[in-house]
Amino acid sequence: MLEVTDLHVSYGPVHAVHGVSMSATAGRITLVLGANGAGKTTSLRAITGFLRDAKGSVTINGKQILGKFPHVVVKHGLSLVPEGRKIFFPLTVEENLRVGGYTASKAHNAQMMAKIYELFPILYERRDGAAGLLSGGEQQMLAFGRALMSDPEVILMDEPSMGLAPSMVMRVMEQVRAIADSGIGVLMVEQNADAGLGIADDVVVVSRGESVWSGTAEVAQSDKAVVHAFLGESALAETPADIGAADRGETGLAEALNAAEDDASADRTN
């Protein structure tokens, strides 16, 4: 239902994203992997209307939404859980949730809030307290809750596990899975490839502003050493070309990544 095709995004003269394609489907989690600075946040912000200098195609149920303002994008069923959560610390938990429902009616918001409190009972317990007093994991729940307030068809998440204790990371991933299982399409950027692959259905790898590989999480799992090498979590000396789908006669993740790196260096010399 969300289809992003050949997205290009610039910051003035800086062409940060040049050829990102990805999609999200009801009930499924698409995991977006890529090194720091690859263009993941830029892509999510352009898709949701926060970055204006964007070209390409972003459709939801066939309807073009690229170029629309964030409040209009929300009405088309897209919602963003931003990088760093962006919780309003001085506001109460409930006030933060209300921010997420700013485009909807009072009755609709009351109904959504009840659902969110059911999903995250701790938010109900803390509803009148300042959001800044919540733990990191609770703040992430609040960020999910705020994004759910608009009753989205597709929710985009930018590094939900960032800065959380390892024990919290798995809980947050379980919550992401539960959100998808409720019928919402999830497009999730996650630096913790292991945690992300544990719950994802589909995977897209972004390198230097381009999507360079996509496939099922199952195939990505078997090429996991390459994902790690690519993310700089383990030595590149593990000869990524030896690992993965090459044996199966498919285009391997390693091959795609190597090709992308070559293209990217060629771009930079232009």
Provide the token pair at 174. Answer: 């379980």
Choices 38-46, 101-109, 126-134, 163-171; region in contact with ligand ADP by CB under 6 A: 38-46
Q: Which ranges constitute the DSSP H helices of the chain?
A: 40-47, 70-75, 93-100, 106-119, 121-125, 136-148, 166-181, 193-199, 217-222, 224-231, 253-268
What one-character-per-residue DSSP string does 197-227 give?
HHH-SEEEEEETTEEEEEEEHHHHHHTHHHH
Please select the residue that binds ligand ADP; options are 19, 34, 100, 152, rule is CB under 6 A: 34
CB of 189 to ligand ADP, least distance (A): 7
Choices 31-39, 119-127, 236-244, 257-265; region in contact with ligand ADP by CB under 6 A: 31-39
Binding mask 39-68 toward ligand ADP (x if CB under 6 A, else -) reads xxxx--------------------------
Please select the residue that binds ligand ADP; options are 6, 14, 57, 69, rule is CB under 6 A: 14
Residue 9 and residue 220: Cα distance in Å, rounded? 27
The dihedral sign for the CA sequence 234, 239, 244, 250: positive
Binding mask 228-267 toward ligand ADP (x if CB under 6 A, else -) reads ----------------------------------------
Positions touching ligand ADP (CB under 6 A) are 11, 14, 16, 34, 36-42
